[in-house]
Amino acid sequence: MRRVIVLEFISLDGVIQSPGGPDEDTSGGFAHGGWISPYSDPIIASVIRKQMNMPFDLLLGRKTFEIWAPYWPQRADVWPGVNTATKFVASNTVTSHEWQPSVFLNGDIADKITRIKQQEGPDLHVYGSANLIQTLLKQDLVDSFWLKIFPITLGSGKRLFSEGAIPAAFKVTESNVTSNGVIIVNYERAGAITTSV
């Protein structure tokens, strides 16, 4: 059975929008694109390389797919796996694309992802895709969060937890702090939440 793993660069106030560059995603007037660049260091680079080189398929929202599709095929030397991975794309408007292999999902996205999770194959990595993540959270489809938490607040932008989530407990399976104060932490599902009596 496949797991859904959400991999995000996230600010202290929960923003995940446009970490990589100024024009990556300016929707909603977001003006802080590229906010992770001052924090780059060998520890983050090593973690990212490790995650990029493990077996995976991708689960992406339409907007993230459209940002990535013209970029990654030209950079196969940097991340060869992104081009050979199956890209499952949640979209009600896009039904095909030259960047293959790609499978477009519409209609009941949660049901389709539930079925994909039950198939044999590598884990499904989710990058960006803020709107899709809200669906995954509401339907309790996220198994792990692999986060890089940056010591910055952005005030506005798309957030990881913008519309709520099914209550769930997680446990830390890996963590590190860089010299620039970035917390790198992996959380795995650990059942239901418990409360005091």
Question: For 66-92, how does the pLDDT look when each residue is reduced to its tens digit (9 = 90+)?
Answer: 999 999 999 989 999 999 999 999 999
In a domain, 84, yes or no: yes
Q: How far apart are CA 141 and CA 168, in angstroms?
A: 11
141 has a pLDDT exceeding 90: yes
Query: Does 146 map to a domain?
Result: yes
* Domain contains 179: yes
87 and 102 Cβ atoms separated by less than 8 Å? yes
65: confidence class by pLDDT, cuts 50, 70, 90: very high
Residue-level pLDDT at 197: 74
Q: Helix (H) and strand (E) counts for the chain?
A: 5, 8
Question: Can you tell me the distance from the alpha carbon of 49 to that of 111, in angstroms, rounded to the nearest whole number?
Answer: 32
Q: Specify if 195 maps to a domain.
A: no
Number of domains in the chain: 1
- The answer to whether 109 touches 135, Cβ cutoff 8 Å, is yes
User: What predicted TM-score, i.e. pTM, was given to this entire model?
Assistant: 0.95
Is 194 contained in some domain?
no
Query: Which residue segment(s) compose the domain that 84 sits in?
Result: 4-189
- Report the pLDDT value the prediction gives residue 62, as an integer from 0 to 100: 97
Alpha helices, DSSP H only, in 19-163? 42-52, 62-68, 80-84, 109-117, 130-138
Residue 162: the pLDDT is 85
